[in-house]
Structure 1
C-alpha cells in the first residue's frame, strides 16, 4: 500500500484541473479501491471538509505546489495505476465543483459530517467501511459507475520455470512407465 501523495503525483500526470478536482479524484480512487478489492489504495485518512473529502497531507503539500514524494523505494503498482486510471476515465472530465457537489450527496461524506452544521468546518474522518459498503452497493445497484479494471497477476519468469520443473519431475516417472509399455 502506498500513500496519497504518490497517488496525487500520478493523477497530476493526467489532465487534472485544480486542487479540488485532485482531492475528489483521490477520494474516488480510494473508495473504488475499497469497493473493488476490499483494500485501501493508500494509507492516509480522508477528512470530511465542508467542500467535500480532503486528504490533509496532499492539501498541505499542494499549498506550495511542492509535492515531495518520500523516497521509500515504493512505487505505484500496475494494479494501483489500473484503479486510478479507471476512476480518472469516469470522473476526470468533471471539474472540482461538480465532483464536490456529487460527494455532498453520498453517504460516506454525509455520515462523517452528521453532527457538523451545514457549511461548518470539520476534520472528521470518512469511514473506509462506509466507503466500501456504499460504493460496493452502487456497483451492483444499476447506477452508472466506473468500470472495474481487470486485475491479473503474471508469474515472474523464475516462478514459471520453477513450476515447470516441479511438474516435469512429478510426471517424469509416469511418462517413462507409459513409454515402456
Structure 2
C-alpha cells in the first residue's frame, strides 16, 4: 500500500503544477477506482467529507495555505515505490479526470453517495471530519 505522499508526488509528476483542491480530488478518485479494480486500497489513510469534497487531512496539512502545488512539495516521498499496477491505475484515473477543473471535480464528488452519505445532515458549507469509508467508496464506484 502506497503512502499518501508517494501517490501525491506521482500525480504531480504526471500533471505538473496543479491546484491543491484538484490534487485532493484526483487522490480521492485514485483511491476509489483502485478499490474497485484491485479490491484493495491504494492509500493508507481515509478521506474525510469536508465542505468542498473529500480531503486527506495529512495532505491538507502539507499544502495548507497554498493554492498550487507541484512534485517539489513532496521531495521526501518516493513515487518509485508505487507498483507498476498502482501507477497504471493512477494513470487511468488521470486520463479520465485529469483534464477536469478542481471545481468540476468537487461538484462531482458532491453528487456522489460516498461524500453525501458521510456528511449526513451536516449543513452545506459547514466543517465535518466524518470519514468516507472505503466500503462505501467500493460499493458506490463498483456500481457505476
Tell me the TM-score normalized by structure 1. 0.71
SS in 2 for 1:2: coil
Whether the 8 Å contact between 1:51 and 1:100 is mirrored in structure 2 is yes
RMSD over aligned Cα, in angstroms? 1.8
CA distance in 2: counterparts of 1:130 and 1:80, whole angstroms = 21
Aligned residues: 137
- Kindly indicate whether structure 1 or structure 2 has the higher relative contact order, using CA contacts under 8 Å at least 6 residues apart: 2
**Which structure shows the bigger proportion of residues in strand conformation?**
2
Q: Deviations over 1:51-72 (max 9, x none)?
A: 000111111112366335357x
Q: Which residue of 2 aligns with 1:62?
A: 63
Alignment of 1:35-54 (within 5 A): 35-54=36-55
TM-score, structure 2 as length reference: 0.89
More helix by share: 2
- Aligned partner of 1:28 in structure 2 is 29
Equivalent of 2:129 in 123, 134, 155: 123
Gap regions ≥5 residues in structure 2: none
Hey, which bits of structure 1, 4+ residues long, moved more than 3 A? 68-71
Contact 1:49 1:123 in 2 (8 A): yes
